[in-house]
Structure 1
C-alpha cells in the first residue's frame, strides 16, 4: 500500500487495486489528482470536505464514486446527485479493494452537545484505518492507523491512548492543519507510544507501507 498525506485529514490511499482519496477538506491540497476510483468523506466539517473544490475534482475525475455519511449529503446539496450515502455496517467495493464503514458519531466536543454523523473507513480488512473525528476501534487488527493529534475535541493523551488501544503496526499522525507546531505534537505522540510505531509522513510525498 502507498499512502500520501495531502494535509490535515486528507490521504490518497493506493492499494494493489484502487486509488482512494479520503477527506478532501479546506486544509488539504488535492486538486491535481487524477485517476481516482473513489472519494470517501468521513463527515461534514469543512476541514474534511471542501464542497466547491471537491466538485471541481470530480469534474476532472469522471466516473469516480463519492461516498459520504448521512449528514454530509444534507449539508452539501451541490454534491447530492453524485453522493452515495453509507453508514456503519456497510461494505464498499472500490476497484480491487473492499472498504468497511465503521464509526457513527463525531467525538464529543463539549459535554452532551450532539455531534454530527462521522464514518470511519477500514480498507482491505485492516490494511488502513481512517477514523475520521472519533476514536473508532475495529474488531480486527489494524496495520496502518491514521491518528488525529490536534483538534477542539481531543487531548494528546487521548491520541496516545487510542494508539495503545488499537495497537497498529504503524500510526501516522494527521489532523494537524490548525496547529502551528505539528512536529511537536507528532513527536510527543511518538514519545509516549511504543517504540517505532509512530511515523510522520512528509506532506505530499508518497510513502510505501
Structure 2
C-alpha cells in the first residue's frame, strides 16, 4: 500500500490501480482526488471536507463513493456521488480496501462551540486515521496518522496518544496551520518519540509518499 501526504489533514492510499482519499479539505491540494474511487470524511469542518471539490470529482466520475457520518452527509446533498453514512463499529469495503469505523466525537475545540460528530477509519487493519480526536482504536495499529497541531490539542496529549497506541509507524497530520518554525518543533518532538519508542515516527511533507508493508 502506498500512502501519500497532501496538505494539512489529507492523505491518499493506493493499491494497484485503486485509490482512496481521506479528508480532502480546503487546506489540501485538489489533485489528491484525481482518479480516486472512494473518499472517507471524518467530520464536517472545512479543513477536512469541501463540497465543491467533491462535486467536481463526482461529476468527473459518477461512480465515486463517499463514506462519512450523518452530519457531513447532510451537507453533501448536491454532490452526485454514492454517499454512505457510517457510525462507530461499522465495517465496509470500498475501492478494494477494508475499513472499520472507530469513534464518535470530535475533541473539545472551544467551550462555546458544540462538539461535532467525528468518525475515525482503520483501513486494511494497517492505517488508522482518527480525525480530530485521540480515539484509542482498541486494536494493534501498524500505521498511525497522528494529529500534531490543532486548537484542541496539547503536546502532552499527542505524546501520550503515541505512547498509548505504540504504532510501528506514525506520520503527522493536521499540521497545515504551522509555519516553518512550528513544523520544525513538530519534527523535533516526533524525532524524540521515535527514538524513545524505536519506531518510525515523523512528518511527511506534502506530496511525500511511503510504501507500507
Question: Taking structure 1 as the reference length, what is the TM-score of the superposition?
Answer: 0.91
1:38 to 2:38 alignment? yes
Aligned-residue RMSD, C-alpha:
2.0
Gaps of 5+ in 1: none
**CA deviation string 1:9-45 (max 9, x = no partner):** 1000113584110000000003364332210000000
Contact kept in structure 2, 1:42 and 1:132, CA below 8 Å: yes
SS at match of 2:119: strand
**Equivalent residue for 1:205?**
208
Query: 1:171: Cα distance to partner?
Result: 0.7
Query: 1:75: Cα distance to partner?
Result: 3.1
* Rounded Cα–Cα distance in structure 2 between residues aligned with 1:112 and 1:32: 33
Contact kept in structure 2, 1:6 and 1:30, CA below 8 Å: no
* Rounded Cα–Cα distance in structure 2 between residues aligned with 1:87 and 1:79: 21
Question: Taking structure 2 as the reference length, what is the TM-score of the superposition?
Answer: 0.89
**Equivalent residue for 1:14?**
14
Segment of structure 1 superposing worse, 21-30 or 81-90: 81-90
**Equivalent residue for 1:123?**
123
SS at match of 1:19: strand
SS at match of 1:36: coil
The one of 190, 194, 198 aligned to 1:195: 198
**Equivalent residue for 2:173?**
174
* Rounded Cα–Cα distance in structure 2 between residues aligned with 1:36 and 1:110: 34
Query: 1:84: Cα distance to partner?
Result: 1.1
SS at match of 2:118: strand
